[in-house]
Amino acid sequence: MAPRRGTLKTTLPPPPPEKKKAVEKVANPLFEKRPKQFGIGGALPPKRDLHRFVKWPKYVRIQRQRRVLNQRLKVPPALNQFTKTLDKNLAASLFKMLLKYRPEDKAAKKERLLKKAQAEAEGKTLEAKKPIVVKYGINHVTYLIEQGKAQLVVIAHDVDPIELVVWLPALCRKMGVPYAIVKGKSRLGQIVHAKTATALCLTSVKNEDKHDFSKIVEAIKANFNDRYDDFRKQWGGGIMGVKSQAKTKAKEKLVAKEAAQRAEDEYWNLITKQPVTMSTDLQLAVDRGPELDRGNLDETVVRAVRTPGEVVVLEVLRVNSIQSILMNCNGDSNTKTVVEMAFTRPIRCIMISFKVILSCFAHRAQVVEKGV
């Protein structure tokens, strides 16, 4: 009987794993997604910043242009001194003092004249004492300064045209009158019941205010009269815009980079033409590098002296462990600075670098001049 043939058994590959079906999120039918339509009759668009597109009134444009011009152009000292105003705390004390000596307004004057007329009609004489008030008006203030009657002059910083008061600080200093420049001609105008005032003046104060008034005058003298010579030398303006400053800085950076590269190239051209002589100590230090680990030398000092013959001589005074130098170099094959020493003239200040220890063993040293 013939042998029975064996049947070939084949194993089928395992079926691929079934992919997990993603869980579908069931949308809530009560809340439908309705994207906004910004067309005609649709949703309103989000608010935009239209500040750049506003057509500002002419006076706003003029004052902004004037401010920019004052920043860009060079301002002479005679005009620049009006930017140095009184500080906030001292100005508050000054205005508090000036408010005590406000002149009478129209209603008070009318009432005073009416009482005077009634007294004269009745045949009475009223003894009216002249009140102590603030003097105002540029011509009147100038007259009081020239006569030596003014004890304190207050000038507004924003007078237009500035030629009206530009000479007033010089006159006050000439006559020895304390003066102060404060912010706001409108603030001065409020004291004298007017819209604006260029300058105010005090000729005297009451006895109870003399102590406070003297303190204010001393502080004002220190800020203005005593610093007048400094103000005469300080120019203003010359401040460019952000974009112009960025361009200038980029240009200066590029010029400095080119100059540094040019100086380095010139120096290396000079160095390569000159022989470099290693001293005996440096030769021994390079040859006996592995033995220096056993030494008790704690720092590396390399002195470079340029001889009259323009030959670079290197003298190793103390050399520390080569292993520590390798650790400082972190295994980098680029040039690493080992030591940097500064000396006074005529010895030049240089920076000595080595190609990490392998180059040093090959008796090659690079000397890079840092500056003179």
Choose the most confident range, by mean pLDDT, from 6-20, 196-210, 258-272.
196-210
pLDDT at 304 over 70: no
Q: What percent of the chain has pLDDT over 90?
A: 41
pLDDT in tens, 150-202: 999 999 999 988 999 999 999 999 999 999 999 999 999 999 999 999 999 99
Asked whether residue 140 is domain-assigned, the answer is yes
pLDDT in tens, 356-366: 333 433 333 34
Ramachandran class of 162: left when φ > 0, alpha when ψ lies in -120 to 50, beta otherwise: alpha
**Among candidates 343, 289, 349, which has minimal Cα distance to 320?**
289
**Torsion angle of C-alpha atoms 31, 34, 40, 41, degrees rounded to 10:** -10
Would you state the structure tokens that stand for residue 277, as one six-digit string? Answer: 């002589």
Q: Are residues 229 and 285 in the same domain?
A: no
Asked whether residue 13 is domain-assigned, the answer is no
**Among candidates 185, 244, 247, 238, which has minimal Cα distance to 68?**
238
Asked whether residue 186 is domain-assigned, the answer is yes
Question: Do 243 and 188 contact (CB within 8 A), yes or no?
Answer: no
* Domain end among 181, 214, 237: 237
pLDDT of residue 120: 82
Q: Are residues 305 and 232 in the same domain?
A: no
Tell me the pairing of strands 236-237 and 74-75: antiparallel
Residue 307 binned pLDDT confidence (cut-offs 50, 70, 90): very low
Range of the domain at 108: 74-116+130-237
Q: Are residues 91 and 148 in the same domain?
A: yes
**Among candidates 329, 325, 372, 331, which has minimal Cα distance to 351?**
372
Mean pLDDT, range 125-149, rounded to an integer: 89
Q: Are residues 314 and 223 in the same domain?
A: no
Cα 185 from Cα 192, distance rounded (Å): 11
Q: Are residues 95 and 214 in the same domain?
A: yes
Q: Are residues 228 and 315 in the same domain?
A: no
Asked whether residue 137 is domain-assigned, the answer is yes
Mean pLDDT, range 124-151, rounded to an integer: 89
Residue 124 binned pLDDT confidence (cut-offs 50, 70, 90): confident
Tell me the pairing of strands 179-182 and 152-156: parallel
Q: Are residues 88 and 224 in the same domain?
A: yes
pLDDT of residue 219: 93
pLDDT of residue 137: 92
Asked whether residue 64 is domain-assigned, the answer is no
pLDDT at 248 over 60: yes
Higher pLDDT, 310 or 328: 328
Question: Do 112 and 104 contact (CB within 8 A), yes or no?
Answer: yes
Would you state the structure tokens that stand for residue 250, as one six-digit string? Answer: 């980029």
pLDDT of residue 60: 94
Beta-bridge mates of residue 179: 153
Residue in this structure with the two tokens 């130098």, named with its chain if needed: 325
Question: Do 290 and 322 contact (CB within 8 A), yes or no?
Answer: yes
Q: Which residues are within 8 A (CB) of 142 and not within 5 positions of it... i.e. 6 or more apart? A: 168, 171
- Looking at the 3D structure of the chain, how many domains does it have? 2
Q: Are residues 223 and 324 in the same domain?
A: no
Question: Do 286 and 270 contact (CB within 8 A), yes or no?
Answer: no
Q: Are residues 176 and 301 in the same domain?
A: no
Asked whether residue 246 is domain-assigned, the answer is no
Higher pLDDT, 150 or 343: 150
CATH of the domain at 175: 3.30.1330.30
pLDDT in tens, 40-62: 888 998 999 998 899 999 999 99
Q: Are residues 298 and 213 in the same domain?
A: no
Cα 312 from Cα 360, distance rounded (Å): 17
Mean pLDDT, range 18-31, rounded to an integer: 73
Q: Are residues 232 and 143 in the same domain?
A: yes
Average pLDDT score, the chain = 75
Q: Are residues 216 and 300 in the same domain?
A: no
pLDDT at 204 over 80: yes
Q: What percent of the chain has pLDDT over 70?
A: 69
Burial 295-306 (b: 16+ CB within 10 A, else e): eeeeebebbbeb
Tell me the pairing of strands 312-318 and 276-278: parallel
pLDDT in tens, 55-90: 999 999 999 999 999 899 999 999 999 999 999 999
DSSP strands (E only) in 152-197: 152-156, 179-182
Ramachandran class of 310: left when φ > 0, alpha when ψ lies in -120 to 50, beta otherwise: left
Asked whether residue 301 is domain-assigned, the answer is yes
Q: How much is the pTM?
A: 0.56
